[in-house]
Each structure stands twice: as C-alpha cells, then as structure tokens.
Amino acid sequence: MTIFPSSTQEVPLVGDVPNHIAIIMDGNGRWAKKRFMPRVAGHKRGVETVREIIKACVQRGVSYLTLFAFSSENWRRPQEEVSFLMQLFLRALDEEVAKLHENGIRFRVIGDLSRFDPQIVSLVKRGEALTAGNTSLTLTIAANYGGRWDILQAIEKMLACDPAKRSGFKEADLAAHMALNYGPEPDLFIRTGGEQRISNFLLWQLAYSEFYFTDTLWPEFDAAALDVAIASYRRRERRFGRTSEQLQSEDSQDQVNPKAARENA
C-alpha cells in the first residue's frame, strides 16, 4: 500500500492546483426554500452540481475529490428527508457509476456502510471494484461518515491487525487505517452554504488543509465558483509550522538553483 506523506511528520510538496479537494456540499435545503420548493428538490438539484464539479476537477488536474454527502448526524433529520436522500444515493449509484468508469474515474465511498440498505452496499462495492484501476480522478463520497467514527474505526482496525499496538503506537500506525488511507490529505477544504464549521467531517485529515468558506448554496456552486476557491487557495502561504522568512529563503535558493526547483516542483 502506498504511504502518503503526513503533514505533521514532514513538510508536503505544494503545487498550484490542489491535489486533493474536500467539500462540504451544504445549502440544498435553503436553495429550495428560497424557491418555495420542498427541501428535497434542493438535494435533487445538488446532484447536478456534483456532476459539474467532478468534470471541472478532472479538467483542472485535481487528483482527489472528496464530497460529504451524508453525515453520521444526518440521521437526525425527518424520516421522509432521510428516505429521499437514500433513494437519491441509490439512483445516483445506479445511473452514474458507469459514466464515472467511462471517464476513467476511480470511485470510493467512506463511512459506516452497516446502516445502509444492502442494495446500496452492493452497488457501492460493485462500483468500487469496477473503477478500482482508474487513474484520472479519485472521487470519494463520504456517506454516513463522521470524523470521530473514522478515528475510532481506525483504532479498532489497527488493534485487530496488531494487538501488540495496545502498548503503544505512532501516528503512521493509525493513519494506515483511516478511511482515506488511499489518498493524500486534502489541500483545500471548501464549505458552501455560509456555515463556518467542520460538522464532524475529516477531523484527522484536515490538520493542515486550507479552509475556504462561501455563502454560495451548493446547487448554485459551479466551475467558476470552484475557480474562485482555487484562486484563493493559490494566494495562501502554506507554512506547515515554519516561518514566512524560511519559505522565502527556500524560494530564493530555488531561483539560484533552477534544477533543484524543478525537481522539487
């Protein structure tokens, strides 16, 4: 298994385009309410935004896109809304996975699948198996996902694999069992819909991600809005604990040694 560098154990390489974007797709209900439509109409419209953003990420050379579709706390919503979301997920799995495959996209789901209908679980497994060898974009859907659940399940798996770790373990031991162990940590975290919180999304993996919040509601978020987020990301100075002066002196070293600069890019 590939081991991805940890932002706390070493300083990661940073490119102009975020390699991994993680998004909390929020604001569907409010989008519908504004139009005097039922909340679920917003969820339906939100699926179209998902398609557009996947396409835009492929075009921009983003390698990993992780979308928060249903949190471990979303079961608290009215029963009819939860059922609608499950139906929508089922339909999207049924209709979209083949298209993802045609476009060379690797499809994954993270979250506790044990609460889902067996039909959903089997479509997820089939989709993951079908697209496992694809290399264009890794699309991860977080469904019944919670950041705290993720940390707990990683500890359980780690101890099941190696009970001796009960007496001590390191960050990398746990990271190997986190739900997103097949990808790097997110470079850019986006939340639409105006709230400025994590809502129990990737608690472990967002340690050094850049955060971008927008009031735009998810059904209105589009490729142009994604570009605004990426432009904001480009202006950030990702220090990973170092000082600004250290980064600047690294830059000037790169300029006197263009070969090293290229190799580090």
Q: Is 218 in the site for Mg ion (CB under 5 A)?
A: no
Interface segment toward ligand IPE; rule CB under 6 A; list 62-70, 114-122, 237-245, 256-264: 62-70
Q: Cα 186 vs. chain centroid, distance in angstroms?
A: 7
- Number of Cβ atoms within 10 Å of the Cβ of 97: 19
64 binds, among Mg ion, ligand IPE, none (CB under 5 to 8 A by kind): none
Q: Cα 257 vs. chain centroid, distance in angstroms?
A: 35
**Comparison of 65 and 175: residue with beta carbon closer to ligand IPE:** 65
Residue whose beta carbon is closest to Mg ion: 26
Q: Which residue blocks in 132-257 are alpha helix, DSSP H?
A: 147-161, 171-175, 223-234, 244-256
Instruction: Count interface residues toward Mg ion (CB under 5 A).
Output: 1
Site string for Mg ion, 17-56 (x = CB under 5 A): ---------x------------------------------
* 3 vs 80: CA distance, rounded Å: 42
Contact 49, 93 (CB under 8 A): no
85, 141, 175, 190: residue in contact with ligand IPE (rule CB under 6 A): 85
* 37 vs 176: CA distance, rounded Å: 44
* 74 vs 145: CA distance, rounded Å: 10
Please measure the distance between the N-terminal and C-terminal CA atoms of the chain and give it in whole angstroms.
24
Q: Looking at the annotation, which residues are catalytic?
A: 26, 74
The tokens describing 158, both together, are: 């780690």
**Comparison of 74 and 87: residue with beta carbon closer to ligand IPE:** 74
7, 18, 19, 27: residue in contact with ligand IPE (rule CB under 6 A): 27
**Comparison of 26 and 210: residue with beta carbon closer to Mg ion:** 26
* 149 vs 178: CA distance, rounded Å: 10
By CB under 6 A, the residues from 148 to 207 that bind ligand IPE are 193, 195, 197, 199
**DSSP state for residue 196 in the 8-state scheme:** -
28 binds, among Mg ion, ligand IPE, none (CB under 5 to 8 A by kind): ligand IPE
Least distance in angstroms from the C-beta of 189 to Mg ion: 16
Binding site residues, ligand IPE, CB under 6 A: 24-30, 68-71, 74, 85, 193, 195, 197, 199
